[in-house]
């Protein structure tokens, strides 16, 4: 096991090296050994698997003997009531999770059309069932929920997507957004590109930044009209905000492909979002942990707060609320007071030791009182931001899995998954609000997915775009027919059988922590004792901006 963990550690380091812009000769030599290390790791895992199977055969007879003894003894004892169900710490087990699920199908199946009607039906029936009903009614509702969930699951197993590669960037794609039939992508190559999805062609190349483009946001149409009127442009004009490591936020008019406004922030911009409240606000995060607010009406600076101790890696808005996540593992929740000065009021600040994110690139996606967190480990964390309660959602079957981004579209939760040991990449789908596993979407030679955007077509089908090494558009198609390279399901039985887990050190986390501490154990221990975060902050994010 010791050599396995060392190989896993080396592969993680190599994956981080590969996304650096410039490499030293020594780093290039390390990267050239990735295939060799993966081959050796696969050989060791095969040996361990064979050893476990041998031990299992020896133990089978004993297990059967014990089962017979228990069965014989139970016949002589009076019948006892069943044991009480275990309630998870910090989160009650929902009735829908307690209901037994029918046996799931094994093997791979084609993925395809899944109508918005089915999603809506499941979303409507998946609300929390409170008391006040006769005992028979909740049972019937739970059975109906379970049937609808199984129908939804089967529909995803039969779905089909066409994948189209958008070629044009010459470095990693760090951010994507969608506007109508257009996809806008930002890259470390300093450019913002606009793509026409129906034809999969580059529509415009927006050059103007001198540093890596790290974040994009699309203001709603009603806020675009106000700016378009002041600029004497069409009232149908759409604008895009781009943030960059060059300390600038630029506002682009998509139809003319020009920068109409530029805001100098005095800090490298690492995250941003648009808050559609009152006259509108632009919220930015910096590499030093600063959160800033800017007026959409005047483009003047409104507020600056040193909110985090490390780089702000994600900012998302939900109505008047703003959520910021940092490389120090902390999450801040803000309320927009719609004022000209200091519009953001801090409601909650949960630090890294609370969220369990001990450094790294945190991306977040809020939903009501919950925030879904992806922080570079095998699971997705769920933060109840009002109370600080943490739960885990399994997103990979081993500690070599990495979750880079998490996204919501309708009643779907989508988490990216990358295995550093095998190089395999996929998207895991969960039904909301219970976070029940549906399917895993993958295709041959799928690259690591670092960012995600989604929208629906006029017919209600899904269109997605994923970014990383490649920029890929996913378009949902009728399920008839099959072609080489189609998206397929790769079912993960461990994810399928898992439920939400309350916070607390699991075996997987302990293994992962030991694994990460092999080379830097002193720094990690110091972090846990005195709260210093500089020695364990995530290297992935820093590599992105180098």
- Predicted pLDDT of residue 502: 67
DSSP letters along 294-305, please? EETTT--EEEEE
pLDDT at 21 over 70: no
pLDDT at 52 over 60: no
- Predicted pLDDT of residue 424: 87
pLDDT band at 475 (very low <50, low <70, confident <90, very high): confident
14 vs 181, 425, 471, 517, CA distance in Å? 37, 16, 22, 16
Task: For 54-106, write each residue's pLDDT tens digit.
Answer: 554 444 444 444 444 434 434 443 433 333 333 333 444 444 444 443 333 33
- Nearest by Cα to 275 from 235, 247, 303: 303
pLDDT band at 49 (very low <50, low <70, confident <90, very high): low
- Predicted pLDDT of residue 23: 56
pLDDT at 472 over 90: yes
- Predicted pLDDT of residue 350: 95
Average the pLDDT over 8-25 and give the result. 62
Domain ranges of the chain: 1-76
- Predicted pLDDT of residue 438: 93
Please give the model's pTM, rounded to 2 decimal places: 0.73
Average pLDDT, the chain: 76
pLDDT band at 486 (very low <50, low <70, confident <90, very high): low
Average the pLDDT over 362-375 and give the result. 94
Task: For 274-290, write each residue's pLDDT tens digit.
Answer: 999 999 999 999 999 99
Q: Which residues contact 268 (CB under 8 A, 6 or more apart)?
A: 211, 214, 244, 245, 246, 247, 286, 287, 288, 545
DSSP letters along 442-483, please? E-TTPPPEEEEEEEE-TTS-EEEEEEESS-EEEEEE-SS---
Task: For 386-424, write each residue's pLDDT tens digit.
Answer: 999 999 999 988 778 889 999 999 899 999 999 888 888
- Nearest by Cα to 224 from 241, 211, 247, 208: 241
Task: For 298-313, write each residue's pLDDT tens digit.
Answer: 999 999 999 999 999 9
- Predicted pLDDT of residue 514: 39
């Amino acid at each position: 096991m010791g050599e396995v963990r060392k190989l896993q550690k080396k592969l993680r380091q190599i994956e981080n090296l590969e996304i650096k812009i410039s490499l030293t000769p020594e780093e290039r030599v390390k990267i050239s050994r990735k295939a060799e290390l993966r081959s050796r790791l696969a050989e060791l895992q095969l040996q361990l698997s064979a050893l476990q199977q041998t031990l299992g055969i020896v133990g089978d007879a004993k297990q059967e003997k014990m089962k017979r003894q228990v069965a014989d003894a139970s016949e002589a004892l009076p019948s006892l009531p069943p044991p009480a169900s275990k309630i998870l710490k910090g989160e009650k087990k929902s009735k829908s999770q307690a209901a037994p699920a029918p046996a799931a199908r094994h093997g791979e199946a084609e993925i395809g059309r899944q109508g918005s009607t089915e999603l809506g039906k499941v979303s409507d029936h998946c609300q929390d069932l409170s008391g006040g009903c006769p005992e028979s009614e909740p049972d019937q509702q739970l059975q109906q929920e379970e049937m609808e969930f199984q129908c939804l699951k089967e529909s995803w197993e039969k779905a089909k997507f066409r994948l189209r590669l958008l070629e044009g960037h010459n470095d990693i794609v760090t951010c994507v957004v969608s506007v109508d039939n257009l996809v806008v992508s930002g890259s470390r190559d300093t450019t913002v590109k606009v793509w026409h999805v129906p034809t999969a062609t580059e529509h415009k190349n927006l050059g103007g930044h001198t540093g890596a483009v790290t974040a994009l946001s699309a203001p709603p149409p009603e806020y675009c009209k106000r700016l378009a009127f002041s600029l004497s442009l069409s009232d149908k004009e759409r604008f895009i905000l781009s943030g960059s490591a060059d300390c600038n936020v630029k506002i682009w008019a998509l139809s003319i492909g020009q920068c109409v406004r530029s805001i100098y922030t005095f800090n490298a911009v690492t995250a941003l979002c648009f808050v559609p409240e009152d006259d509108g606000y632009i919220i930015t995060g910096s590499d030093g942990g600063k959160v800033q607010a800017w007026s959409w009406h005047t483009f003047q600076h409104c507020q600056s707060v040193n909110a985090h101790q490390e780089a702000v890696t994600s900012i998302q808005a939900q109505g008047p609320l703003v959520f910021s996540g940092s490389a120090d593992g902390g999450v801040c929740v803000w309320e927009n007071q719609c004022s000209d000065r200091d519009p953001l009021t801090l409601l909650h600040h949960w630090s890294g030791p609370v969220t369990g994110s001990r450094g790294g690139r945190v991306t977040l996606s809020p939903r009501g009182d919950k925030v879904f967190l992806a922080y570079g480990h095998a699971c997705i964390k769920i933060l109840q931001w009002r109370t600080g309660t943490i739960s885990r959602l399994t997103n990979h079957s081993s500690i070599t899995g990495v979750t880079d981004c998490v996204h919501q579209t309708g009643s779907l939760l989508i988490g990216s998954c990358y295995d550093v040991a095998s190089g395999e990449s996929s998207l895991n789908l969960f039904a909301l609000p219970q976070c029940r596993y549906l399917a895993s979407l993958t295709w041959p030679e799928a690259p690591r997915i670092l960012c995600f955007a989604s929208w629906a077509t006029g017919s209600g089908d899904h269109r997605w775009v994923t970014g990383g090494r490649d920029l890929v558009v996913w378009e949902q198609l009728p399920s008839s027919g099959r072609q080489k390279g189609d998206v397929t399901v790769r079912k993960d039985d461990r994810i399928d059988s898992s439920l939400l887990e309350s916070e607390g050190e699991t075996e997987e986390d302990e293994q992962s922590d030991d694994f990460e501490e092999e080379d830097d154990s002193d720094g990690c221990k110091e972090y846990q004792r005195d709260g210093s975060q500089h020695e364990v902050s995530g290297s992935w994010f820093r590599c992105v901006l180098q």
